[in-house]
Amino acid sequence: MDRAASAGLVVCGVLLFVHLVWYIGGWGSETLQAYVTDGMYPPLALLFTLLGVRVVRSPGLDERSRRAWLFITASFACQLIAHTSWFIEDVFLHDTTYPSFADYWFLIFDPVIVVGLLLLPGQPRSRSDKIKLTLDALVVGASTFMVLWYLVLGPVLATAPVDGMAYSAALPVGDLMLVLALTTVLLRRTGVAADKAVLLLAGGIVTYVVADVYYGYIQLHAGFVGGTWPDLLWLFGCYLFALSAHRQRRQTLAIRTGRGRRVAVNWLPYGAIALAYGLLGLVARREGWYPFGGMIVGAVTLTFLVVVRQMYSLRENRDLAITDALTGLANRTLVTERLAQLTARPQRAGRCSAVLLIDLDRFKPINDSYGHEAGDAILRAVAAALRQVVRTGDTAGRLGGDEFAVIMPNLPNPAAALAIGERLLDALRTPVIFGDQLLAVEASIGVAIRDGSADSEQLLAHADTAMYHAKRSGRGRLQLYTADLDTRSRDAELRRAIANGELIVHYQPVVDLNDGHIVAVEALVRWAHPTRGLLMPDAFIDLAEEAGAIVPLGEWVLREACAQAVRWRDGVPALDALRLTVNLSPKQVTQPNLVQTITGILADTGYPAELLVLELTESVVLEPTPETVARLEALRERGVGLAVDDFGTGFSALSYLRQLPVNVLKVDRSFVTGIATDPQARQVADAVVRLGEAFGATVVAEGIETVEQAAALRAMGCRLGQGFYYHRPMDGDAVVDVAKAAASR
Ligand code: C2E
Ligand code: MG
Ligand code: MG
């Protein structure tokens, strides 16, 4: 089918060309020329009608275009009927009635295709855009009217009523409608490839209108003879219709890519005005330069001045639309625009660009307690500070509220951005005088340096991440964005690390304080980061907890530690009764499948449940939900021990401890630290140890670093402990050696 269509187009194209050469060569009689021309139309019209039907029926077409093409194809069908009946009337019936049957179909063509054109999809527009578009189209329409009036319509109406005058007048009116509809299509069109079909259609319609006007003009002055230039133009117009339908079908089937971009066709109304004045000038020249010549010059000048005036106020409006009224800085619109411009250009070699995002600290309380005027004064002071640090070419803007941004497209290096940020921080520390008050604000600044891949939104998001980080780590600070500030990317990195086996588990022995005998080991995770070296849990556990990777991480640690402990038991009989304690994060505890996961791991590794102790942080213990309690009880029933880690730091609501099935309390290091030197610390530690005993739990002291601390703990009856004094966390192999050495003692 596609091949047939292409073949049809090629054949028709060749025929048209041969016909043109034949006509210009002047071969054949006038009658023959007219007949041949008449004969060319019906196949051409049949071709574009069939191609139109194919467009309407093509599967990939959107609904709106389908409706539009339905009308366009219907108008093509009108042409087919008109041309076919004209061929029969002219060649066979020699019927010269005017207007003939065919002529009415030519007329119907106009409104039908106008509807089709108006239905064609365009860019979504606002109300004011639509009004402007209508005005532009009317400008083009008015100048077209002048041309039509001068060439056809005026003379038709001026001559005495004759037969068919209504028809002769209707034809240019139809043309005017066509031009109006076509203008709106061109002004509305989207930037996507769909334009090609529309442009071909537009070309066809323009050719058609020109042919109509030419025909009308000849008809008025000399009488039209078939097969001459208007006919050739019509034929060419028809051919463009066929090409347009073919193109539309092809581009519908091709995958649409690329975003729509705005196509500025603003010159269209100006072109139309120029055309209208050109025509006036032409007429005036014929009429002699007085009186119209000077008047036309005046009118042209007037129009020119009005247009310039209009452009000037347009610029003024734009200035208003892109500045922040309060501070006079760029507003969010302009900042976004500049940022988009920045990221659209390639970076100049040896230079770099940066975005600073500035958010005031403690702005809201000032605004709330001193009023909005005070707030405004501060915002204006910030704007002044920004103006001091930016250089020409930079953009300083207010994004809204107390958030500002500076775009610096041309810096020698990233350090320059940081230096400017520091200067800004300093400048902002100067208090603002408001009445008899001194108002002090500070700002947190996030800095993002443009790297090749970041688009404008990403760049701003990076600066935002950095700013947020600056706020979190103490305010009044500057923070440069680096990928590892990004929770999401770090979370993804951590998940990859788990999958890639970058995590390792170290073990810290828990000993009997009386004889140093190892009773348990605590599994502590580490991350052998490919570039940052061995990372301790405090570098990644919080983030993992926040972003969710803690769940797979915790499962991995448990599985790994259990498997390791089984290997120890198999290799060293002395380690048979060694307990294993593993930290469980709050997020893991809330997982509905916690019990299945843990029993599954125990079953897979073959590690006995009675030897496993899970350490919960106090936050879990503090507010246990019924589900949590049920899960923990289920674990206890299976023999798994439960410990409260860092006991004492969370100001435990003791009543909850009674509800929970915990059997180990790990007294936090902070209670152990001063125990040997500070009597009060010793009393507190003593109380905590007693408390543990009162709950019937095994008490383990954490963070024992000195022999004195160990002695003090022993003295208060604490039996178990862990700390650097005894053993630092170590890898799995080292545990075996240490255990053997301890056993042989
Ligand atoms: P934690 O569970 O309280 O673990 C004890 C921490 O205290 C360990 O730090 C250990 O190295 C350290 N420590 C032990 N003895 C001493 C001492 O004498 N002096 C001092 N200054 N420190 C001592 P680490 O390995 O850096 O782990 C820190 C925290 O990270 C752990 O505190 C635990 O809350 C968490 N963590 C470690 N591994 C995991 C894990 O697999 N899952 C979860 N959810 N959290 C883990
Ligand atoms: Mg622990
Ligand atoms: Mg602890």
Residues 517/742, Cβ–Cβ less than 8 Å: yes
Does the CB atom of residue 583 touch ligand 1 within 6 A? yes
State the closest ligand 1 atom to the C-alpha of 505, by its place in the atom list counted from 1. Answer: 41
Is residue 418 included in any domain, yes or no? yes
Is residue 271 included in any domain, yes or no? no
Q: What is the 3-state secondary structure (H, E, C) of 333-359?
A: HHHHHHHHHHHHCCCCCCCEEEEEEEE
Pocket test for ligand 1, best of 506, 521, 583 (most atoms within 8 A of CB): 583
Does the CB atom of residue 646 touch ligand 1 within 6 A? yes
Pocket test for ligand 1, best of 506, 510, 524 (most atoms within 8 A of CB): 524
Helix (H, G, I), strand (E, B) or coil at 440: coil
**Residue that is last in its domain, among 429, 463, 485:** 485
138 CA distance to ligand 3 centroid (A)?
Answer: 79
588 CA distance to ligand 3 centroid (A)?
Answer: 17
645 CA distance to ligand 2 centroid (A)?
Answer: 5
One domain for residues 400 and 501: no
Q: Cα dihedral sign for 220, 222, 225, 229?
A: negative
pLDDT of residue 219: 82
Is residue 313 included in any domain, yes or no? no
Does the CB atom of residue 705 touch ligand 1 within 6 A? yes
Residues 587/556, Cβ–Cβ less than 8 Å: no
> How far, in Å, CA of 674 to CA of 678, rounded?
5
Does the CB atom of residue 581 touch ligand 1 within 6 A? no
Does the CB atom of residue 585 touch ligand 1 within 6 A? yes
* Structure token digits, residue 445: 């600044």
One domain for residues 626 and 509: yes
One domain for residues 494 and 481: no
Q: Which residues pair with 503 in a beta bridge?
A: 527
> How far, in Å, CA of 509 to CA of 516, rounded?
10
522 CA distance to ligand 2 centroid (A)?
Answer: 7
pLDDT of residue 258: 37
> How far, in Å, CA of 489 to CA of 483, rounded?
7
Instruction: Give me the number of domains the chain comprises.
Output: 3
Is residue 16 included in any domain, yes or no? yes
Q: Whose CA is nearest to atom 17 of ligand 1?
A: 703
Does the CB atom of residue 524 touch ligand 1 within 6 A? yes
Strand 579-584 with 533-535, pairing:
unpaired
Does the CB atom of residue 508 touch ligand 1 within 6 A? yes
The residue whose two tokens read 């003692």 is 745
State the closest ligand 1 atom to the C-alpha of 544, by its place in the atom list counted from 1. Answer: 44
Strand 442-449 with 352-361, pairing:
antiparallel
615 CA distance to ligand 2 centroid (A)?
Answer: 6
State the closest ligand 1 atom to the C-alpha of 668, by its place in the atom list counted from 1. Answer: 3
One domain for residues 523 and 635: yes
* Structure token digits, residue 216: 């009308």
One domain for residues 410 and 544: no
> How far, in Å, CA of 195 to CA of 123, rounded?
12
Work out the angle at residue 287's Cα, subtended by the Cα atoms of residues 283 and 292, and round it to the nearest 5 degrees: 75
The residue whose two tokens read 């023999």 is 639
Task: State yes or no: cis peptide before 99, omega within 30 of 0.
Answer: yes
User: What b/e sequence results for 466-488 when a residue is b if at least 16 CB atoms lie within 10 Å of its CB, and e otherwise?
Assistant: bbbbbbeeeebbbbbbeeebbee
CATH number at residue 387: 3.30.70.270
Q: Which residues pair with 437 in a beta bridge?
A: 434
**Residue that is last in its domain, among 239, 254, 269:** 254
Does the CB atom of residue 645 touch ligand 1 within 6 A? yes
Strand order of the sheet with strand 352-361?
395-400, 403-411, 352-361, 442-449, 478-480
One domain for residues 533 and 643: yes
Q: Whose CA is nearest to atom 30 of ligand 1?
A: 537
One domain for residues 457 and 504: no
524 CA distance to ligand 1 centroid (A)?
Answer: 6
Pocket test for ligand 1, best of 507, 510, 541, 601 (most atoms within 8 A of CB): 541
Does the CB atom of residue 557 touch ligand 1 within 6 A? yes
CATH number at residue 569: 3.20.20.450
Is residue 653 included in any domain, yes or no? yes
Task: State yes or no: cis peptide before 161, omega within 30 of 0.
Answer: no
> How far, in Å, CA of 657 to CA of 439, rounded?
48
Q: What is the DSSP letter of 89?
A: I
**Residue that is last in its domain, among 419, 453, 485:** 485
484 CA distance to ligand 2 centroid (A)?
Answer: 26
- What ligand has the least distance to the C-alpha of 525? 1
Is residue 217 included in any domain, yes or no? yes
State the closest ligand 1 atom to the C-alpha of 666, by its place in the atom list counted from 1. Answer: 3
Q: Whose CA is nearest to atom 4 of ligand 1?
A: 524
The whole domain housing 637 covers 489-744
pLDDT of residue 193: 45
67 CA distance to ligand 2 centroid (A)?
Answer: 69
223 CA distance to ligand 2 centroid (A)?
Answer: 104
One domain for residues 502 and 355: no
- What ligand has the least distance to the C-alpha of 541? 1
**Successive 10-residue mean pLDDT values, the chain, 745 residues:** 84 89 81 83 91 89 89 94 89 77 90 93 76 86 89 80 71 91 81 70 93 87 80 91 89 50 62 86 78 81 85 85 91 93 86 94 88 92 90 91 93 93 90 86 92 84 91 86 80 90 96 93 95 90 87 96 94 86 93 95 96 89 83 95 86 70 90 89 88 88 95 94 96 89 72
One domain for residues 449 and 540: no
Does the CB atom of residue 541 touch ligand 1 within 6 A? yes
Q: Which residues pair with 445 in a beta bridge?
A: 358, 478
543 CA distance to ligand 3 centroid (A)?
Answer: 18
Q: Whose CA is nearest to atom 21 of ligand 1?
A: 703
Is residue 270 included in any domain, yes or no? no
One domain for residues 513 and 369: no
pLDDT of residue 501: 94
585 CA distance to ligand 2 centroid (A)?
Answer: 10
Phi, psi of 505 (to 5 degrees): -115, 130
Is residue 281 included in any domain, yes or no? no
One domain for residues 340 and 435: yes
One domain for residues 577 and 644: yes
What H or E segment, with its residue span, contains residue 660? none
pLDDT of residue 649: 77
